[in-house]
Amino acid sequence: DQQVKQNSPSLSVQEGRISILNCDYTNSMFDYFLWYKKYPAEGPTFLISISSIKDKNEDGRFTVFLNKSAKHLSLHIVPSQPGDSAVYFCAASVAAQKLVFGQGTRLTINP
């Protein structure tokens, strides 16, 4: 049972444009959501997070939106840069316990 789903295995975006990565979840008890970025041969790197009491969190070029009624969150990257090319994992937790990860989306930024 996949509680956190990233339905797009890959996404290609032109440099300078907006990248939108999507994530859906099924467990309504999740109260904290995170995005991690992973380069090949490296561990995941924490990017940005959002609590379930908020609907938006912004950090520089990265913004995460949470729609609790739809059980959906998204990560917006604007403007996209070549260094943003990586695999992005959505993750969720209940009461600060273990992280449950989505399958990941491979983002490629084209020049």
Residues that bind another protein (CB under 8 A): 4, 32, 34, 36, 41-46, 49, 51, 89, 91, 93, 96-99, 101-104
Tokens of 44: 């995941």
Say if strands 45-51 and 10-14 run parallel, antiparallel, or are unpaired: unpaired
Identity of the residue, 96 or 111, whose beta carbon is nearer to another protein in the bound complex = 96
CB of 65 to another protein, least distance (A): 18
Angle at 6 between CA 41 and CA 75, to 5 degrees: 85
Report the nearest approach of another protein to the CB of residue 98 (Å). Answer: 5
Nearer to another protein by Cβ, of 43 and 111: the residue is: 43
Q: How far is the CB of 3 from another protein (least distance, A)?
A: 11
Beta bridge partners of 86: 107
Using alpha carbons only, give the angle 68, 71, 74 rounded to the nearest 5 degrees: 90
